[in-house]
């Protein structure tokens, strides 16, 4: 009986196969409008509970598996993030259902089919599905005491003892109906279209809470607060740079040695990377002890689109007081926030703004020196779009014997899901031999455009490899895009400087974006020379190449056109990135 109950748990998730996502039933060739389940399938797909199985089909007669069922329920709860744990030998870290299985098991919705196995591909029966739905409903703290008399069905005796209460409850609530007027078919496999129908019915049931609804009161941030995304050390660096404190330094060695100690109350001893933005700790109170709450942040007051920020897990600060951290906010932006829960009244909506800081740093767990190319205001006073191009250090190390920085699974998730990055451009020539590329993370396209030292760009082979680099990073159809070299310093810094010049940024700001790499785990950087003071940066070298051009913007554009970059492509890049 225990085996049967556990097998049942997986049925719920089978419904969703992570493939094409049509938005209405008639998009599926095997679900015509005349089919009994057409509206149910359309509903389940539109809500994001289920997807098609590929090639324009839904496979309505296909059976639900354990993996599919838990995935559907997990998605219905907003796909909460979990940390992978190797509880089952047959559930790997990178399966589409991995997080769903961990979530369902930790919340008592399913168990394994043995101590070491989950059996994700096992089919689910109708009675197993009823049992799983009952556990899921109990997890939501709804009442599951309703029952009906099953004796009216001729095959009631075939219902397994462990599932009797669940089936009686599911029939009473209207979630499960008989396969005929007199039969339940408890051992029959649950089909995809049957599950779609159950999901639609489930959303229509007015369940009773087993606990009184609570009240959520927001504490911090307060309405209208302004929050800087820069940490104290960044603010110090900005102040000293724009005050001219570093103007006479060949390199920033003196500044590098001094800066980490000025703000020692903020940074722990031994920390060498100071490129991370501020983490905002949202706080609220709730008088209901059930801690199923979700922090929601959006740039829109109707919350129709979630903000491209990284949100942590909700935790209890003290009795009745809760907190959740968030980071990677845009600069100079108004945000709206609220807290939602099925067991408390929805909180009010509050707004706060982020300060118009000069640049937008980004935190990716395990990463370094990451920032948005946007957020600046160019020399004409026009804003440069945020969230389109990101620069930084390598997200995976080409030399595994000497890992420099390496994004964790959470860092990779944040890069793809929170920032929405679609393309990763690798500038490392070393990657040709040393990088064991791990594949496309969450669908991110990998583009290798190896770059040599920038003093070689005017040589015989320079134009060809530079054309490939800028063909990639100027392609707005690939945005949001992340480009990097090893440390995100010299090669990445020079590509960034060229792009910033094309966007008409003031050269003081361009130089700052190069120099602020000093706060990373890399060695200090100072425009125009690197650590040994021997190499003139590429952008400055263009002044000798095009003395007739008055601005760096004109020089960079002229050079790119000379190596084969279409002027129309440069204009399209500017049109996309500059907000009028």
Positive or negative, the Cα torsion across 167, 169, 171, 175? Answer: negative
308: DSSP letter: S
User: What count of other Cβ atoms lies within 10 Å of the Cβ of residue 55?
Assistant: 11
Query: Where do we find the tokens 């087993």?
Result: 210
How many Å apart are CA 236 and CA 416, to the nearest integer?
A: 31
Averaged pLDDT for residues 204-221 = 82
Question: Token pair for residue 22?
Answer: 């049509």
pLDDT at 36: 93
- With 50 as the cut, is the pLDDT of residue 5 above it? no
Buried b (16+ CB within 10 A) or exposed e, 187-200: eebbbbbbbbbbbb
pLDDT score recorded for residue 531: 44
CATH top-level class for 359-579? alpha beta
Determine the average pLDDT of the residues in 344-368.
92
pLDDT confidence band for 10 (50 / 70 / 90): very low
pLDDT for 465 beyond 60 = yes
Across residues 240-264, what is the average pLDDT?
66
Q: Which range in 35-49, 216-230, 316-330, 533-547 is most confidently predicted, on average pLDDT?
A: 216-230
pLDDT at 524: 73
β-pair partners for 392 = 484
Confidence of residue 177 (pLDDT cuts 50, 70, 90): confident
Burial of 186 (C-beta count, 10 Å sphere; 0-12/13-18/19+): buried
Q: Which of 253-267, 320-334, 377-391 has the lowest mean pLDDT?
A: 253-267
Q: Which residue has the higher pLDDT, 154 or 528?
A: 154
Whose tokens are 């099925």? That residue is: 342
pLDDT at residue number 93? 85
Q: Report the pLDDT averaged over residues 70-88.
A: 86
**pLDDT > 70? residue 530:** no
Q: Which is higher by pLDDT, 528 or 106?
A: 106
Per-residue model confidence (pLDDT) at position 438:
53
- Segment 568-577 shows an average pLDDT of 97
Q: Using 50, 70 and 90 to split pLDDT, how confident is the model at 9? A: very low
Average pLDDT over residues 195-203: 93
| pLDDT (tens digit per residue) in 417-442 | 999 999 999 998 877 655 545 545 77
The CA distance from 463 to 457, in Å, is: 7
214-229+275-354 in CATH: which number?
Answer: 2.60.40.10
Give residues with Cβ within 8 angstroms of 568, minimum separation 6.
none
What sign does the CA torsion over 358, 364, 369, 370 have?
negative
Give the chain's end-to-end CA distance (angstroms, integer).
66
Domain chopping of the chain, boundaries: 2-204, 214-229+275-354, 359-579
Residue with tokens 């793809």: 416
d(CA 135, CA 103): 13
Closest CA to 163 of 123, 203, 132, 201: 132
CA distances, 514 to each of 10, 76, 152, 350, 510 (Å): 52, 44, 77, 36, 7
Exposed e or buried b per residue across 524-544, where buried means at least 16 C-beta atoms within 10 angstroms of its C-beta: bbbbebbbeeeebbbbebbee
493: pLDDT strictly greater than 80: yes
Average pLDDT over residues 344-370: 92
More confident residue, 3 or 465: 465
pLDDT computed for residue 251 by the predictor: 54
Please report how many Cα atoms fall inside a 13 Å half-sphere around the Cα of residue 53, on the Cβ side.
Answer: 17
Contact assessment for residue 503 and residue 578, using Cβ atoms and an 8 Å cutoff:
yes
To 10 degrees, the CA torsion angle through 44, 48, 53, 55? 100
| Residue 577 clears pLDDT 60, i.e. is over it | yes
Question: Which phi and psi (to 5°) does residue 356 adopt?
Answer: -75, 60
Mean pLDDT of 96-124: 90
Distance CA 9, CA 66 (A): 6
Q: Which residue has the higher pLDDT, 258 or 535?
A: 258
Q: Name the pairing type of β-strands 423-428 and 481-484.
A: parallel
**pLDDT, average across residues 151-176:** 92
């Amino acid at each position: 009986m225990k085996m049967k109950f556990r097998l049942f748990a997986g049925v719920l998730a089978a419904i969703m196969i992570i493939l094409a996502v049509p938005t209405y039933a008639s998009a599926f060739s095997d679900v015509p409008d005349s089919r009994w389940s057409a509206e149910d399938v359309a509903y389940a797909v539109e809500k994001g509970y289920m997807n098609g199985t590929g090639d324009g089909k839904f496979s309505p007669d296909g059976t639900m598996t354990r993996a599919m069922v838990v995935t559907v329920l997990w998605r219905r709860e907003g796909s909460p993030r979990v940390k992978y744990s190797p509880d089952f030998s047959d559930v790997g870290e990178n399966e589409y259902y991995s997080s769903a299985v961990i979530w369902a098991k930790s919340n008592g919705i399913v168990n394994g089919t043995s101590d070491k196995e989950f059996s994700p591909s096992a089919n689910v029966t109708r009675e197993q599905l009823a049992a799983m739905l009952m556990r899921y409903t109990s997890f939501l703290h709804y009442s599951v005491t309703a029952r009906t008399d099953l004796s009216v069905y001729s095959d009631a005796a075939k219902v397994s003892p462990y599932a009797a209460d669940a089936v009686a409850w599911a029939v009473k609530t209207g979630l499960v109906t008989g396969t005929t007027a007199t039969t339940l078919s408890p051992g029959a496999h649950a089909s995809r279209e049957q599950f779609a129908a159950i999901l639609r019915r489930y959303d229509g049931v007015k369940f009773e809470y087993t606990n009184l609804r609570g009240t959520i009161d927001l504490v911090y941030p307060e309405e209208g607060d302004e929050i800087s995304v820069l940490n104290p050390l960044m603010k110090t660096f900005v102040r000293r740079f724009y005050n001219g404190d570093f103007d006479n330094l060949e390199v920033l060695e003196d500044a590098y040695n001094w800066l980490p100690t000025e703000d020692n109350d903020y940074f722990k001893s031994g920390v060498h990377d100071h490129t991370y933005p501020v983490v905002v700790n949202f706080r609220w109170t709730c008088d209901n002890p059930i801690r199923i709450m979700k922090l929601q942040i959006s740039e829109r007051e109707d919350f129709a689109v979630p903000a491209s920020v990284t949100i942590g897990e909700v935790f209890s600060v003290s009795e009745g007081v809760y907190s959740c951290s968030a980071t990677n906010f845009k600069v100079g932006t108004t945000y709206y926030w609220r807290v939602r829960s099925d067991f408390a009244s929805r909180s009010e909506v509050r707004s706060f703004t982020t300060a118009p800081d000069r640049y937008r740093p980004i935190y990716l767990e395990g990463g370094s020196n990451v920032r948005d190319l946007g957020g600046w205001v160019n020399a004409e006073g026009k804003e440069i779009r945020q969230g389109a191009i990101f620069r930084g250090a390598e997200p995976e190390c080409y030399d595994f014997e000497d890992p420099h920085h390496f994004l964790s699974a959470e860092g990779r998730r944040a890069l793809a899901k929170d920032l929405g990055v679609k393309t990763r451009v690798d500038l490392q020539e070393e990657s040709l031999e040393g990088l064991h590329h791990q594949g496309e993370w969450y669908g991110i396209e990998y583009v290798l455009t190896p770059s040599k030292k920038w003093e070689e760009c005017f040589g015989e082979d320079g134009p060809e490899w530079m054309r490939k680099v800028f063909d990639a990073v100027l392609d707005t159809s690939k945005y949001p895009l992340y480009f990097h070299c090893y440390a995100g310093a010299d090669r990445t810094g020079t590509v960034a400087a060229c792009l910033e010049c094309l966007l008409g940024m003031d050269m003081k700001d361009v130089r700052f974006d190069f120099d602020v790499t000093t706060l990373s785990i890399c060695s200090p950087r100072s425009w125009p020379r690197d650590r040994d003071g021997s190499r003139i940066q590429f952008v400055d070298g263009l002044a000798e190449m095009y003395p007739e051009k008055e601005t760096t913007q004109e020089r960079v554009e002229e050079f790119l056109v000379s190596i084969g970059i279409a002027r129309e492509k440069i204009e399209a890049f500017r049109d996309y990135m500059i907000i009028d």
